[in-house]
Amino acid sequence: MTITRRRKTVHSAWIRQFHDSGADGPTVVCFPHAGGSASAHFSLSAELSTSAEVLVVQYPGRQDRLAEPALEDLRQMAAEVAHALGPWQDRPLALFGHSMGSLVAYEVALRLERRRGDALLGLIVSGRAAPSVPSGRLVHDLDDERLTGHLARLAGTPPELLADKDLLAVALPSLRADYKAVETYRDRTGAQVGCPISGYRGRQDTGVPPDSMEKWAGYTTGRCAFRQFDGGHFYLQSREREVARAVLHDLARCRS
């Protein structure tokens, strides 16, 4: 079978596309974690792009958007991304978010479904409790030393970055803004999406216990299913192929 490859021309500060993609697959939009940049999902994009068009969100305040101030309001992030996704409104669209990205993806899904008048293909939330679960301690208020220690315990940031004071000075402002956006976010409505939700977590992720993920079932009028993968909060970093297979399988079920 011959697969036609294609790539849209992207004219948005918010959207990146790293790989060409199969013409007949859905469009999957990936949302990085707090402090994360679009490149955090480069490997996952490569795996998914064999069967899907993959877009990755680039938040301001990092990489090629370093000169822009990072946003401290999660709903503002969602509104900006929903607007940027306008050119893809005519395609089967699914959203995948990890950690903070799960909340942003959920808010984007609400906006896109209202605009489209029908449900998205699916919403996949990873490594993040449902919006009704409080964030707990306020990490964004920690001083730089304690914030760096928090990152080290999550084991998702390269040790060489944590040891480089100059690089940390560049990275910490956007990270702190992201944490503030998450920790000041409140679920005011309990609004439900119409698409199915799939919840993913690392088995060893003590910060996101299974019952906190299962509460996502209350945020959809459709099906809700859950998967676990070996690893902690950043299980994604070593399991991109396994996660990609799960994403494509779950989206295929949504399309059938």
Q: What is the pLDDT of residues 106-128, one digit of tens each?
A: 999 999 999 999 999 999 999 99
Give pLDDT, residue 254. Answer: 76
Can 233 be counted among the known catalytic residues? yes
Give pLDDT, residue 1. Answer: 25
Give pLDDT, residue 131. Answer: 95
Given 33, 98, 140, 233, which residue is catalytic? 233
Residues with pLDDT less than 50, the chain? 1-5
Helix/strand/coil (H/E/C) assignment for every residue in 178-218: HHHHHHCCCCCCCCCECCCEEEEEECCCCCCCHHHHHHHHH
Give pLDDT, residue 7. Answer: 52
Output the six-digit token pair for 167: 């690089």
Output the six-digit token pair for 108: 């984007």
Give pLDDT, residue 156. Answer: 62
Instruction: Identify each DSSP E strand in 76-132 by its residue range.
Output: 93-98, 122-126
Give pLDDT, residue 41. Answer: 96
Cα dihedral 53, 59, 63, 68 sign: positive
Nearest-10 Cα torsion for 65, 15, 81, 90: 160
Domains annotated on the chain, with CATH = 5-133+190-255 (3.40.50.1820)
Can 99 be counted among the known catalytic residues? yes
B/e letters for 223-253, b = 16+ CB within 10 Å, e = fewer, are ebeebebebbbbbbeebbebbbebbbebbee
Given 21, 51, 99, 198, which residue is catalytic? 99
Residue 228's H or E segment, with its range, is strand 224-229
Give pLDDT, residue 171. Answer: 80
Give the C-alpha separation, 86 to 15, whole Å. 11
Give pLDDT, residue 185. Answer: 93
Give the C-alpha separation, 103 to 129, whole Å. 9
Give pLDDT, residue 192. Answer: 97
